[in-house]
Amino acid sequence: MWVQGHFRQSALYYEHGLGFLALTKGTLDGSDWPLWTGQVLQNWKTFLAAAFPASAIIAQKRGSGESTFLSVGPPVQANSNWWTTGPRQGSYCPPPGTAPHSRQNKREASGSKVSVLCAIPVVWPGEETAAEAIVETYGSQCDRLIFFLASPDATTGAQARRVLSGHSSGAEVVDLALYWPDMLRDRADVLAADGRQGISGANQKDLLLFAYLAREETLPDWVCRVETDSYFSPANFRRFVQGRQLHPEEPFYLGSLAYWHLHFEPRVVFNEQVQCLSRVAVKRLGSTVSKAPWAAEASYARCEVVPGHRGDIMLGLCLAEVGIGPFPDVADRWGREYFLNYQMEDMALHAPYHAYGDTMPDPRRIDSNLAA
């Protein structure tokens, strides 16, 4: 938002983040969180100096509907401030293993790190930009990063492999259509952004990627299926499963619970962001999917490999057939969820009363860079 010159909404987000920092400061010591309190506060001071400069006040004519009005405030430069790392100061996080007073650090000190495989179903062509953004952001934090596609032809599959595997994240590309040639192939017009003009193969891909992984002899502790329009933090997920002592050799199905879908509830985990399965759960699911019937249309009454884009329901049905239900403890002591199935600015609408403070309008709608 600084690039756009929208300093005011950046200030709102920053203040919101500082509130969370104050709540969690006591748990950061000894963790591997890459920031430290003094660094954050110093950048906050620098940001305030850039966002609210000591300069002459200017008036800007703006419009709202059919009316116009004047917005008055000091001018700011859109790129006048960037994050600065600098030397450590104030409270900071020591290297992992130096303060093994918590369960997590004891595990890290013994060399037993939680391993996470990020499985990304991607439509190629269609979601090239999103896939590259994943590679360039959280993808490198995954122990393994695998993009699953169903290429319409060998040339397209080769292009995806060339683009995504060429990054430093070590991304892998698996063309599921090579193993299941009867599945629907990727087409850009089946995406919601293009109005879903064709029949989606998302249901098939969501199940078959787990069937593919279940064939591997050695799997990481956890497999997390992440949508291309979501952001995933492997470090936060590792802390979550360690804090709740969830072992990968037990069947776990993690994510944001859905209480209103088909069948009795809660039955499924939303597929709009992330669904994480333990290693044992992946093995059991893969065995069931490999034996599941194929059909031309989804009944959503059994585990089946079918077209459609309601992978959350189908995954829940297939897991139910092997006796695995959603893990219920996915909120903190204030009732705030760890797996968010909504935009960040909507958190107050989906949380216990006063968990985040008063609801405010979407700050991205502020279209002026005036600090007033």
Q: What is the mean pLDDT of residues 188-216?
A: 87
Least confident of 21-25, 80-84, 185-189, 225-229: 80-84
Instruction: List the one residue out of 18, 21, 16 whose CA is nearest residue 357.
Output: 16
Residue 62's pLDDT is what?
73
- Please give the Cα distance from 277 to 236 (Å, whole number): 16
The predicted-structure confidence for 52-101, as pLDDT tens digits, reads as follows 777 777 777 777 667 777 776 666 665 555 566 555 555 554 444 433 33
The predicted-structure confidence for 232-249, as pLDDT tens digits, reads as follows 999 999 999 999 999 999
Q: What is the mean pLDDT of residues 20-29?
A: 68
Residue ranges and CATH numbers for the domains of the chain are 7-104+346-365 (no CATH), 114-321 (3.90.550)
Residue 1 has pLDDT above 60, yes or no: no
In degrees and rounded to multiples of 5, residue 51 shows phi and psi of: -75, -30
Residue 202: Cβ-neighbour burial (10 angstroms; 0-12, 13-18, 19+): buried
Average confidence score pLDDT of the chain: 77
Q: What is the mean pLDDT of residues 141-148?
A: 94
- Please give the Cα distance from 104 to 238 (Å, whole number): 9
Higher pLDDT, 199 or 305: 305
Cβ atoms of residues 269 and 253 within 8 Å: yes
The predicted-structure confidence for 161-195, as pLDDT tens digits, reads as follows 888 886 656 899 999 999 999 999 998 887 877 67
- Please give the Cα distance from 171 to 164 (Å, whole number): 6
Residue 305's pLDDT is what?
95
Residue 367 has pLDDT above 50, yes or no: yes
In degrees and rounded to multiples of 5, residue 224 shows phi and psi of: -115, 120
pTM > 0.85: no
